[in-house]
């Protein structure tokens, strides 16, 4: 299978490397020092089981590439639109674009460029980040990918991608209800993750305080109410399950948005709490917690570079993915 990785940070770098090791033809789109490292030294993957380095094909943009079978679309949510505009050279009539991003609006943005029929949706659950130029670090277990067609159909291309993942030893699951999966992940990322960013705290101290634990629960409940208003069939105990998942995490755990905030990087707040607020206004559902998160975090956004299009093609900022935080990014 021919693949291109658009957004070669933690998630894109890690899974692209596994697919390359599995014998597939993978091209990485990157930039800056990360691109230089990939071209000169290859891609290094460090895991609890050991370290390996493989030579890879890495380019600065998509213009030099031919159409591929599959695009792993792994840029940050705020870079979705410019990155989608760069898809054209990669597309043929059969090309699939699989988004492994945070947020609920990326599918529509990508589909507006390549058509909804080309888009697959995925959720990633793993602890991985770009540790430095050309180096991807996985700190937890092997994690898993859940993906599927928007329609829920078990298509031939989904089966082919699942076969490629199997060959590359990537734990995965094909879902026939990927929209529900996306919302369940969003419930954790925006609800729990947003509060850790707002509080600038690890998850442990938040659970140690009754007030902050209530804040976590209420943030998640607001999202569940939005899902209900949009007709998304979340389980009745979805909020309780997310809170239990969060309570089981290491006390020092913080969302990737909290880490981005601490490091002065741009935040995905508009795609997370901002999306909750926008949907709440449309539905008439109150979202006071997420209005607070969005308002407070928006003042910490660094200035947006004017070369955002180039930035989108080769996102190389730190991007951690934790077991319930496929954001983590």
* Catalytic residue from among 21, 63, 76, 185: 185
Cα dihedral sign, 108-111-116-117: negative
d(CA 35, CA 51): 20
DSSP letter string over 63-74?
Answer: GGPPP-SEEEE-
The label of the residue with tokens 């607001």 reads 222
HEC string for 311-324: HHHCCCCCCCCECC
Residue 75 sits at the vertex; the CA angle it makes with 245 and 40, to the nearest 5 degrees, is 115
User: 111: which residues sit within 8 A by CB, 6+ positions away?
Assistant: 118, 119
Structure tokens belonging to residue 78:
């705020």
Q: What are phi and psi of 202, to 5 degrees?
A: -70, 165
The torsion angle over the Cα atoms of residues 134, 130, 160 and 116, rounded to 10 degrees, is -120
Percentage helix, strand, coil, to 5, in the chain? 45, 20, 35
**Is 185 marked active-site?**
yes
Chain centre to alpha carbon of residue 62: 21
d(CA 286, CA 207): 24
Kind plus residue range of the DSSP H or E element containing 55: none
Q: Give yes or no for a contact between 89 and 3, defined as CB atoms under 8 angstroms apart.
A: no
Q: Give yes or no for a contact between 305 and 236, defined as CB atoms under 8 angstroms apart.
A: no
Count of CB atoms situated within 10 Å of the CB of 155: 15
Cα separation of the two ends of the chain:
25
User: 282: which residues sit within 8 A by CB, 6+ positions away?
Assistant: none
The residues annotated with a catalytic role in the active site are 185
């Amino acid at each position: 299978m021919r693949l291109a990785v658009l957004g070669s940070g933690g998630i894109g770098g890690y899974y692209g490397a596994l697919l390359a090791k599995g014998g597939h033809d993978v091209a990485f789109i990157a930039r800056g020092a990360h691109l230089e490292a990939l071209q000169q030294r290859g891609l290094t993957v460090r895991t609890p089981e050991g370290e390996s380095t493989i030579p890879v094909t890495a380019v600065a943009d998509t213009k030099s590439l031919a159409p591929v079978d599959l695009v792993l679309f792994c840029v940050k949510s705020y870079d979705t639109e410019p990155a989608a505009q760069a898809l054209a050279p990669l597309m043929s009539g059969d090309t699939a674009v699989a988004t492994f991003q945070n947020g609920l609006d990326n599918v529509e943005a990508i589909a507006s460029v390549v058509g909804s029929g080309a888009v697959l949706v995925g959720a990633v659950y793993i602890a991985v980040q770009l540790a430095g130029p050309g180096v991807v670090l996985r700190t937890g277990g092997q994690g898993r990918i859940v993906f599927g067609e928007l329609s829920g159909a078990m298509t031939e291309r989904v089966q082919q991608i699942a076969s490629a993942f199997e060959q590359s030893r990537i734990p995965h699951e094909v879902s026939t209800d990927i929209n529900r999966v996306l919302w369940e992940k969003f419930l954790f990322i925006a609800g729990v993750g947003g509060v850790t960013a707002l509080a600038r705290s690890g998850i442990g101290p938040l659970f140690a305080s009754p007030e902050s634990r209530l804040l976590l629960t209420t943030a998640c409940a607001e999202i569940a109410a939005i899902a209900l208003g949009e007709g998304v069939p979340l389980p009745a105990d979805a909020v309780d399950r997310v809170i239990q998942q969060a309570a089981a995490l290491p006390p020092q755990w913080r969302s990737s948005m909290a880490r981005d905030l601490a490091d002065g990087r741009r935040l995905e707040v508009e795609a997370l709490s901002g999306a909750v607020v926008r949907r709440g206004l449309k539905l008439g559902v109150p979202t006071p917690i997420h209005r607070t998160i969005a308002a407070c975090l928006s003042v910490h956004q660094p200035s947006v570079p004017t070369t955002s299009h180039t930035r989108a093609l080769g996102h190389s900022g730190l991007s951690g993915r934790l077991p319930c935080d496929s954001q983590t990014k």
